[in-house]
Amino acid sequence: MSAPTDGPRYIIYVREACEQLDELDGSLEIRIKNEIDKFLTVWNIDDFFDKSVTKDVDYIKKKRGDTRGFGSYLRVESINILLVLTVFKEKYKQSYWDNSWKYQSRVEDYEKEIRDGDSNGNIISYIDNLRDDPDYFICGPND
- What is the tens place of the pLDDT at every residue in 35-69? 999 999 988 888 888 889 999 999 998 777 788 99
Q: Residue 35: which H helix or E strand, with range? A: helix 26-37
Q: Given the DSSP bridges, would you call strands 136-139 and 79-89 parallel, antiparallel or unpaired?
A: unpaired
User: How would CATH label the architecture of 10-139?
Assistant: 2-Layer Sandwich (3.30)
Q: Are 37 and 59 in contact (CB under 8 A)?
A: no
Q: State pLDDT tens for residues 84-116.
A: 999 999 899 999 999 999 999 999 999 998 888
pLDDT tier at 28, thresholds 50, 70, 90: confident
- Residue 62 CA from chain centroid, whole number: 14
Q: What is the pTM of this model?
A: 0.90
Domain boundaries in the chain? 10-139
pLDDT, position 2: 61
Tell me how far apart the alpha carbons of residues 129 and 86 are, in angstroms, rounded to a whole number.
22
